[in-house]
Amino acid sequence: MRRIVALLADTHAGHKLALCNPETRWEDEDAQGKRIRTGPTLTETQKWLWGRYEEQRGRLLEFAHGDPVTLIHNGDITWGVKYPEQLVNSRIDVQPTIAFYNLLPWLKEDNVQTVRLVHGTPSHEFGMGSSNRTVATMLSMGFPEKNIGAPRHLLASIDGVRFDVAHHGPSSGIRIWTAGNQFRYNLRSIMLEDLINGRTPPRVVVRAHYHTYLHETVRVQADSEVVSEILMLPGYCGFSHYVVQATRSAYTMHAGMVAVEVVDGVLGQIVPLVETLDIRTEETL
């Protein structure tokens, strides 16, 4: 038995620099008050992101080769209104609508039967995972035969392989030579706490929030060697002026998802599908 876990996060629907399905439609009114169906005009960043998203999604489904796919979106499915600059539309309902359309291509695949939308940052999701719950309900209404949920912190056994999935975790570090240190420390702490309390540590720990891909492996010696992996997921969101400030002028944008293979109850390949873009303006003066 072979299964693929598709992991993505930080799609931030509703921002002009975030993922947006060009087929998205919502109801509005024209100047005469007549009800119409309308949609977004994609920015250049959104066009680039959607192109990467569809290409990477296609590669993941090709890797799955028809085997069952479990889709996990790990937080910040919408942008929220705390930072209102560059919103696609000021109406709140537009954001979960875009998020719904972003995930819709997955749900149309016959081998995608299970979907989990893990809660992210409250300011991006209107508090208490509201966006995730809303999108999960919308998807469930459209695809009642599929298993769709919106947990806050997911501990899932997928064919016997335990996945611990939550949005927030340690950063990747602020220096290139320290990248991964805090990640490994955090995973080791999780593993030791579980072992001390008589629990089996998760085989794969998944975090997000920093829009950067990172993969670290930790080995702990108990009665026998215990091995766990920790993944930081990239996002599908460009750098707003707020993000540039918050990251102290970071300039490398990561866009992508991760495929994790489970074969006969054993962790198989971990395949990052990630592309990077240097957003600096290069000139010869």
Q: Which CATH number does the domain housing residue 20 bear?
A: 3.60.21
Q: Which of 60-69, 174-183, 184-193, 242-251 has the lowest mean pLDDT?
A: 242-251
Residue 85, H or E segment: none
Q: How many domains, the chain?
A: 1
Residue 111 lies in a domain: yes
pLDDT at residue 178, rounded to an integer: 80
| Contact status, residue 12 vs residue 124, Cβ threshold 8 Å | yes
Taking CA atoms, 202 is separated from 14, 158, 169, 205, in Å, by 33, 11, 15, 6
Written as six digits, the tokens of 260 are 């994790």
**Quick one: pLDDT at residue 244?**
78
Q: How far is residue 5's CA from residue 27's CA, in Å, rounded to a whole number?
A: 34
H or E stretch covering 262: strand 252-263
CA 56 to each of CA 17, 254, 274: distance values in angstroms, whole numbers, following the listed order: 18, 13, 8
Residue 222: its pLDDT value, please? 82
Per the listing, tokens 């999604």 go with 57
Domain membership of residue 284 (yes or no) is no
**Residue 163 in domain:** yes
Residue 285 placed within a domain:
no
Task: Give the predicted TM-score (pTM) of the model.
Answer: 0.96
Answer whether residue 15 shows pLDDT above 70. Answer: yes
pLDDT for 57 beyond 80 = yes
| Domain that residue 174 falls in | 2-278
Q: Give the pair of three-digit tokens for residue 187.
A: 């995973």
What are 109-166's pLDDT values in tens digits?
A: 999 999 999 999 999 999 999 999 999 999 999 999 999 999 999 999 999 999 999 9
User: Measured at the alpha carbon of residue 265, what is the angle toward residues 259 and 269, in degrees to the nearest 5?
Assistant: 30
Domain assignment present for residue 40? The answer is yes
Which segments of the chain does DSSP mark as H helices, in order? 44-64, 94-107, 122-125, 130-142, 181-196, 241-246
pLDDT at residue 240 in the model? 82
**Confidence grade of residue 174 (pLDDT, cut at 50, 70, 90):** confident
Tokens 């629907």 belong to 13
What are the tokens at 9?
């996060």
Residue 195: inside a domain: yes
Question: CA triplet 282, 46, 48: central angle to 5 degrees?
Answer: 60
Exposed, middle or buried by CB within 10 Å (0-12, 13-18, 19+), for 198?
exposed
C-alpha atoms less than 13 angstroms from C-alpha of 211 in its C-beta half-sphere: 25
Angle, alpha carbons 261-264-267 (nearest 5°): 40
State the pLDDT at residue 173: 76
Helix or strand (DSSP H, E) at 73: strand 69-74
Quote the CA–CA distance of 29 and 172 in Å, as a whole number: 45
Spell out the residues 6+ positions from residue 18 whose beta carbon is closer than 8 angstroms to its own: 11, 12, 46, 49, 79, 236, 237, 238
pLDDT-derived band at 246, boundaries 50, 70, 90 = low
Q: Which of 19, 214, 5, 237 is nearest to 116 (CA)?
A: 5
Indicate whether 283 belongs to any domain: no
- 193 belongs to a structural domain: yes
